[in-house]
Homo-oligomer: A and B are copies of this chain.
Amino acid sequence: MALPQKHFKRGSTKPELPEDGVLRFFSMAFCPFSHRVRLLLAAKQIPHHKIYVDLIEKPEWYKDYSPLGKVPALQLAGIENQPTLVESLIIAEYLDQQYPQPQLFLTDPLQKALDKILIERFAPVVSAIYPVLTCNPNAPADAIEKFENALDVFEVELAKRGTPYFAGQTIGIVDYMIWPWFERFPSMKITSEQKYELNTNRFGKLLKWRDLVAQDEAVQKTALDVQLHAEFQKSKTLGNPQYDIAFKAKY
């Protein structure tokens, strides 16, 4: 049974989901937090159904799955009560324990805690990016400075670790959890008034890392084109996000 490739809206009928025990993944195609989970599903090759949700005009039935209306959400269909998980990091950790190939979180409690803290340190980047991304004329003058200062933490940390990936010689959880924003950064050149790009001197290690991660299979499988990200961002800034343009692409 094929689920429709569209974002369900307010007023839509609750989709009938197949009772086949397969995971049900609720997301919005351009949402970077949903992208985190999509990366894990791809990296671990976990079968799942995809249900897309319009985040402005949320379908009334969506609260049955995610009481606060958040995406991503993951319903476990094959078990009693069919519980739904929310919060990208909680979902990621659950998937990593339940589907351990390849293992992405470190097992040492201290190293695992330090990685989680580093992922938390990405929150200031996420909140600083929007004034830069959206060509907002009311954006504060120091928007770019704030964004770059927040990102510095990751440039410094990568230098400190001295490895190609944050996880070491192969890709790991920190790499995947911050990647969605790096996929979107190049769209800033198109959407921002300043034609913003990451400075190659200041962010040399991160840019090298970006080129490396871009070759990862799960990253490629879940990628959306930079033009598409820019087009979505522009429509969002105008107050009318065009969610379904995601399906123009192969994704």
A residues with a Cβ closer than 8 A to B are 67-68, 76, 79, 83, 85-87, 90-91, 93-94, 97-98, 109-110, 112-114, 116-117, 120-121, 124, 153
Q: With A83-B114, A86-B117, A120-B87 known to touch, is A98 a contact of B94 (CB < 8 Å)?
A: no
Q: In the bound complex, what is the Cα–Cα distance between A124 and B121 (angstroms)?
A: 22
**B98 contacts A83, CB within 8 Å?**
no
Complex formed: what's the CA distance from A170 to B79 in Å? 26
Task: Report chain B residues within 8 Å CB of A117.
Answer: 85-87, 90
Given A76-B110, A110-B76: A116 touches B97 (CB 8 Å cut-off): no
Task: Give chain A's interface secondary structure class.
Answer: helix
Q: Smallest Cβ distance from A80 to chain B, in angstroms?
A: 10
Set of chain B residues within 8 Å of A110, measured between Cβ atoms: 76, 79, 83, 94, 98
A197 to chain B, nearest CB (A): 27
Cross-chain pairs A/B with CB under 8 angstroms, 24 sampled: A67-B153, A68-B121, A68-B124, A76-B110, A79-B110, A83-B110, A83-B114, A85-B113, A86-B117, A86-B120, A87-B116, A87-B120, A90-B113, A90-B117, A90-B120, A91-B113, A93-B109, A93-B113, A94-B109, A94-B110, A94-B112, A94-B113, A97-B109, A98-B109
Contacts of A112 in B (CB 8 A): 94
Alpha-carbon distance between A85 and B94 when the two chains are bound, in angstroms? 22
Question: Hey, which chain B residues are within 8 Å of A124, CB to CB?
Answer: 68
Closest Cβ of chain B to A231, distance in Å, is: 33
**B residues near A68, Cβ cutoff 8 Å:** 121, 124
* Cα distance, A235 to B43, chains bound together (Å): 52
Name the residue of chain B whose CB is nearest to the CB of A111: B83
Alpha-carbon separation in the docked complex, A76 to B111 (Å): 12
Query: 3 closest Cβ contacts across the A-B interface?
Result: A97-B109, A94-B113, A90-B116
Q: Shortest distance in angstroms between A211's beta carbon and chain B's nearest beta carbon?
A: 28
A94 to chain B, nearest CB (A): 4
Q: Given the complex, which residues of B lie within 8 Å of A98, measured CB to CB?
A: 109-110
Q: Which residue of B lies closest to A123 (CB)?
A: B68
Nearest chain B CB to A125 CB, angstrom units:
13
Q: Which residues of B contact A67 (CB under 8 A)?
A: 121, 153
